[in-house]
Structure 1
């Protein structure tokens, strides 16, 4: 599943001693973006339904690195900016067969462009998924992508995961990784990073970390060196009020282009 959210993801799970399982994640968010004398307000609503329960990995917002569960999802966003507005709707789903094959479809309709994405892949084992996607815009040529996702188990709930993606022309290649570990007691640490190589524009790289004071509360920080947007910094905090509701706050700044974002979010998981 490919959600390309700008806001900080908000995922909530139960605060009990054992792992909790849920079948749906529903998120809502508000982002205020300021750039010079202009500003924009974005409202977002999204939901995913899983046909088999997902279990937590310690902290209430952590899941398996590779999700292997058939699902349906949708996301809608509306942005009101100086001089106009824009909206974007995404609907999709993924099917995982018992023999390891998977297929997915995603349809996106927006004011800038409409696209259809088809995905086919194979789960060689629970820790290795390879897939091919074809993204077909209403205008312009279709583009094919190859993706490989691997999870290396480190014992208990700890792991280090890798994700590699390239287009069929090898004009752009991206490699990302996430390390998740239990520090002791009820504290955990997640560190993630990524690098994208572009043939004709500056390369991008990013690094971030999230520290869990408990299963319910965490703080995060990140940095991205973006070729198009310059240096990007973000700070965030999330907290689970009860078994089903979580909230978060985040601040994102882009120094080189004088852009600041303030983000609020809520998640309901059942």
Structure 2
């Protein structure tokens, strides 16, 4: 796979010393227009961490495995319906991780709880049970590992499966700092869903810690393009476009404002 051979070559570009920023509160307001159905999607969400999160250089890049207790909430509206979600994670001193999430709209709600263990700063395992309002409980098991490279560079790996192996998958993310305050991320995912194999790739290039562009592509010929810029240390604007190479009418336009404090 080309991804494997790109890593050493990119890493040779070097890692520049950077001054990390710290944040605890993350908020986003997003609006999307789905062209082929003339529908609009609105969403607002926020996450508060009980300790500061350090950036890796870019203002929107942080460690691969989160290890900070947090709470989150979100609201979205699409096709005349409202969707709500609240949740959180608690990291105990004995390395146990407890999580919970509740989602609801007019027709259904789902409650999920999870238990995990932080084996080390670079390795975490989790088990999660999700119970919809109607239907059986879904069980999911996952693990994530971070392989640290020079400086803040890393390669992260994650894998998941349900209890009956009806669906499972793996994903990986590579983050590297280049010369002159530039950065790059590469991502790949492989999923098996009830006998259907899917894959997806992403890439982001940072001209600086405040400005980036990104692309994505998947097996179903869906693709997206986006650009993001931080006007200062706290506020960013992101614009995106998505479509499908086989269906030219399937266009999605999005605009979001992000606040980090």
Query: What TM-score results when the alignment is normalised by the length of structure 2?
Result: 0.91
Aligned length: 244
Structure 2 partner of 1:164: 159
Structure 2 partner of 1:217: 211
User: Structure 1 residues 112 and 190, CA, compared in 2 at 3 Å: closer, same or farther?
Assistant: farther
Structure 2 partner of 1:150: 145
SS at the partner of 1:117?
strand
1:242 aligns with 2:222: no
Query: What is the CA distance between 1:63 and its match in structure 2?
Result: 0.4
1:77 aligns with 2:76: yes
Structure 1 partner of 2:56: 57
Query: What is the CA distance between 1:17 and its match in structure 2?
Result: 4.7
- RMSD value over aligned CA atoms? 1.3
Query: What is the CA distance between 1:111 and its match in structure 2?
Result: 3.5
Structure 2 partner of 1:205: 199
The 8 Å contact of residues 59 and 233 in structure 2, kept in 1 or not, is answered as: no
Structure 1 partner of 2:90: 95
- Paired with 1:53 and 1:197, the residues of 2 have a C-alpha distance of 36
The structure carrying a bigger strand percent of its residues is 1
SS at the partner of 1:43?
strand
1:187 aligns with 2:178: no
Q: 5+ unaligned residues in a row in structure 2: which ranges?
A: 1-16
1:260 aligns with 2:251: yes
Q: 5+ unaligned residues in a row in structure 1: which ranges?
A: 1-15
The 8 Å contact of residues 26 and 258 in structure 2, kept in 1 or not, is answered as: yes
Query: What TM-score results when the alignment is normalised by the length of structure 1?
Result: 0.88
Query: What is the CA distance between 1:105 and its match in structure 2?
Result: 0.5
- Paired with 1:128 and 1:93, the residues of 2 have a C-alpha distance of 20
Specify which of 109, 113, 123 is matched with residue 108 of structure 2.
113
1:129 aligns with 2:161: no
Query: What is the CA distance between 1:254 and its match in structure 2?
Result: 2.6
| Mapping for residues 23-62 of structure 1, pairs under 5 Å | 23-35=24-36, 38-62=37-61
Query: What is the CA distance between 1:185 and its match in structure 2?
Result: 1.9
CA-to-partner distance for each residue in 1:156-180, whole Å, 9 max, x for gaps? 0100000101000100111010000
CA-to-partner distance for each residue in 1:46-104, whole Å, 9 max, x for gaps? 0000000000001111000001000000010011x4xxx11110000100011110100
Specify which of 155, 168, 185 is matched with residue 173 of structure 1.
168
